[in-house]
Amino acid sequence: MNRVEKKFMELKAAKEKGFIVYITAGDPDIETTVEIARELVKSNVDLIEFGIPFSDPLADGPTIQEASQRALRRGITIKAILKAIASLRSGTDVPFVFMTYYNPILKYGVKSFIKDAKESGVDGVIVPDLPIEESGELIDIAEAEDFSLILLAAPTSTDDRLKAIAKRSKGFIYYVSLTGVTGARKDMAADLANNVKRIKRFTNKPVCVGFGVSTPDQAREVAEVADGVIVGSAIIKVIEKNIGRDDLVKRVGNFTRTLVKGIKSK
């Protein structure tokens, strides 16, 4: 059992919902990424997703695309991200997972990527552009290393596909709450509750919802039906608006705590 599974067991025992934050590694620079991650830990997030910047992020909307470009312009590399996470790991047991596309993993080498990620203190990976039909190698290597390959389900997923995802996903199932790319939305999908229930017919694994959550009220709404809430673009927007300010990290922490309160205040 790795840190992701352990965390969700603890949350279930405490009758709490998980709060997951996504940040783009290297935005605006790797040193600030480390500071932000430490602030997120102090803000009581349950898991941190570190996005590995990629030039063609098919699932990401403009906010995360721009964050990736800022990081890439500064020359961010997977090696630098691994080194940064290793420096974070000694101070916390909060689970860390990568979110990236398959091309960087393939170029790095699948076995080497998982081995080096695990040694640095990373507990899992999410790969939005790798369908389950083509993920056999990554799943097999991840399972052998007790490394969570977290699979995505969508509103358009068939029952047969959900069964396959539920069987092979480890840690939790990432439910993409809407069709389209990442980004803050004014309203959550009307069919959210029914779709989460549909996934839960096939599994006892945690189901966490991402794409579109940006306010405490939305986070609370999602937490009513799911096991965890994932926020990315809204956090990245706070970072983007405050680049160059001495209190950037503090502002990210303050915003994050409003979201945590929305979920944990029950």
**Burial category of 123 from C-beta neighbours within 10 Å (exposed 0-12, middle 13-18, buried 19 and up):** buried
Catalogue all structural domains in the chain, each as residue range(s) with its CATH number. Answer: 3-264 (3.20.20.70)
pLDDT value at residue 157 = 93
Q: Whole-model pTM? A: 0.93
Stretches in the chain below the pLDDT threshold 70? 57, 59, 178-190, 265-266
Angle made by CA atoms 230, 100, 124, in degrees to the nearest 5: 70
What amino acid positions are annotated as catalytic residues?
49, 60
Cβ count near 187 (within 10 Å) = 9
pLDDT value at residue 264 = 79
Distance CA 99, CA 211 (A): 13
Question: Going along the chain, which residue ranges are E strands?
Answer: 18-24, 47-51, 96-99, 124-126, 148-150, 152-153, 173-176, 207-210, 228-231
Q: Please compute, for residue 187, the number of CA atoms within 13 A of its CA located in the half-sphere on the CB side.
A: 3
Phi and psi dihedrals of 2, rounded to 5?
Answer: -95, -175
Distance CA 204, CA 53 (A): 32
pLDDT value at residue 140 = 95
